[in-house]
Structure 1
Amino acid sequence: MASRASSEAPAAGYSVPVPALPRLGRTWYRRGAPYWLRRARTTVFVVLAMALFSLFALGLYEGVRDLLPSTVRVVWDGVQVAASVVALVWGAVAHRREHREALLDPPDPARTARAKRDHDRRVPGRIALGRGLVLLAAPVMPAFAAYVAGRLLFWLTVREYPSEAGARRWLEEHATRPAAQQ
């Protein structure tokens, strides 16, 4: 029988293994270089995705904007800039509130894995629905892109994800220290 990998071994002084979390694996426990490399990789990917989404939103808006008379364009552009600033702040504040609430009752590792599976299962349907809605939302796509960017920027800059807090709490509740240390 092969020995367990060091990441599968129980944490020092504990009798249960450190649970693996989606996107972070078991690196969340020590928060060393592999953890920060995973967070940096996620950040780079999300920033690139936000840039592409923003370019798409601006391109779609430009198509709608070309249909407007020239005097209305100036006013509409000003409205879009103001709406985008408000939406960016609104997205960040909304995610901050949700994050704070999630930290008050963080999910355990099983609930985190279940939520990830449920999310992955719903994505194709949401993509299909989004394709139809994006045409209806074309006139306000910059504000929508700003809202999404605000949420994602805050998500990328949190100190600890709720899944980490929940896993740490679960580990403390389910771990038993050796009798010599009690």
Structure 2
Amino acid sequence: MEFKSLITTRYSVRKYKPERLSEELLNEVLEAGRMAPTAVNYQPFVFIVINDPEKLKALYEAYPREWFAKAPQVIVICSDHSASWKRGHDGKDHADIDVAIATDHMTLRATELGLGTCWVCNFDPGKVSKALNLPGHIEPTVLLPIGRPEEVEAPIKKRKPLSELVRFNGY
């Protein structure tokens, strides 16, 4: 698939077929995240694959949406703030930026493989941390349900026109 087609085809999938992905397919997606660029190549992320029914139920407690409960597996993408690059001028931590790039790489690779994903950030991180027994320096940043979509027809995306988003040589 060409890149332009890939980025226009990708959409947030909220209906999944119940079967889990093969280890081979899952590793293709995880590898795409691993290959993502990061600030100073620090790679401050951890990918935790959840496919155990009890762990999935615990994730549902942190994000109680009916569609989410039906996802066959979820990748919890975590920021490792102890391993992230901090900008010298103001100390800005780039872990979340690096996680976002890795997540985007995974969503695009999943789309290319005919799979569906949906970024989920509106969850209770304390519940996720507790359920997965995460150490204090590891922050759950994105829940990424992944599987085969029930519907493969991408909805029409609503996007602002470039004229509202682009400026030249200043604001």
TM-score category, normalised to shorter length: under 0.3
Give the TM-score normalised by the residue count of structure 1.
Answer: 0.22
Give the number of the structure whose residues are more often strand, by fraction: 2
Choose 1 or 2 for highest CA Rg: 1
Give the TM-score normalised by the residue count of structure 2.
Answer: 0.23
